[in-house]
Amino acid sequence: MKLLSLNRLITSVACLMAMPLALAQGAYPIKPISIVLPAAAGMGADVVARVIAEKMSRQLGQSVLIDNRPGAGGLIAANHVLAAAPDGYTLLLNASTFAIQAGLPGKITYSIQRDFAQIGGMAIFPQLLVASPKTDVASFADFILRSKKETINTGSAGIGSTSHFTMEMFKAITGVKINHVPYKGTSDMQLGLMSGDVAIGFDSLAASVPRLGPGQLKPVAVATNQRVPMLPSVPTLLELGYPAMISSSWTGLSAPAKTPVAILDRLNVELRKAVAEPDVKARIESLGAVPLDQTREQFSAFLDSELEKWARVIRESGVKMQ
């Protein structure tokens, strides 16, 4: 009898010890969730994240907050999330920046796949080739013709940015002569284009749209496999004869690697539900972006393909990072 009572006591204590963990997992979320962004407020990725976060807040019954931590090619944001508890309350806005940085020797000390668990995609932002209003380049044919005669100054949002390596990929495929001028972000690059300091450059469609029009940036081509609805007269690089020239920025959601699977699955369900809402889809598309609806496995496979693509582009470009 004493042995039976002791076994019951041990079982009861074990159940009591396990109860807080079970309740915490079952009740998730019980406090606000933070999405850490490697981008500044007001950028396309920030706008999309805020729209989705607002929807997820309502669905989850808890605030989903945006924490902007730009700088160092995403390193600041990534390290902040890696230092957080893997409990589903501190998430990372994964982005194409991380896939590119992974291919640059010595740039990062973590693995975006090994050290993070993938939740799902948010949106894709096509890359747009835009020309300065101060240049006589008015079309893709003009650009190619001029590049055969002289070296053209091209701008980017910075060394290691998507716009930088999209141009490097374009250079390798087309053989154009360019002189890369890196800026400290998209806004500075656009100012360089507007002033005529650089003649042409790649930028995300979302960031470029507000500056398109008479006397402003001139859209030359999009790096997509089909024309974008908001710029129906702008050709794709695919139809111009460069099928390999598909490039975009993108965003998704990730968490520290040891986050419980049940929480990751719940977040994937809520993320996909938010992205599917008509008003969210309309807002994303109004930015020139494409909403993503992916399972955790699909987003992870997409990330793998992006890591492979940009590692190849970086390797073949021969660019030496300072």
Instruction: List the chain residues with pLDDT less than 50.
Output: 1-7, 9-25
Instruction: Count CB atoms within 10 A of the CB of residue 17.
Output: 9
pLDDT of residue 320: 63
Closest CA to 66 of 80, 79, 52, 76: 52
Note whether 287 and 128 are within 8 A (CB): no
Assign 194 to helix, strand or coil.
Answer: helix
pLDDT of residue 23: 39
**Which parts of 96-210 fold into alpha helices (H)?**
96-101, 140-149, 162-174, 186-195, 205-208
pLDDT of residue 25: 47
pLDDT of residue 322: 54
CATH match for 126-222 among 3.40.190.10, 1.20.1250.20, 1.10.569.10, 1.10.3720.10: 3.40.190.10
**Apex 284 CA angle, 278 and 286, nearest 5:** 100
Closest CA to 159 of 200, 101, 78: 101
Note whether 84 and 256 are within 8 A (CB): yes
Q: How far, in Å, CA of 117 to CA of 72, rounded?
A: 22
pLDDT of residue 14: 42
CATH match for 31-125+249-317 among 3.40.190.150, 3.30.450.40, 1.10.3300.10, 3.40.50.300: 3.40.190.150
Kindly report, as residue ranges, where domains of CATH 3.40.190.150 are found in the chain.
Answer: 31-125+249-317
User: Measured between alpha carbons, how far is residue 244 from residues 3, 123, 141, 169 in Å?
Assistant: 73, 21, 18, 9
Say if pTM beats, i.e. exceeds, 0.75. yes
Q: Is the dihedral of CA 85, 86, 89, 90 positive or negative?
A: positive
Q: Tell me if the bond preceding 243 is cis, omega within 30° of 0.
A: no
pLDDT of residue 220: 93
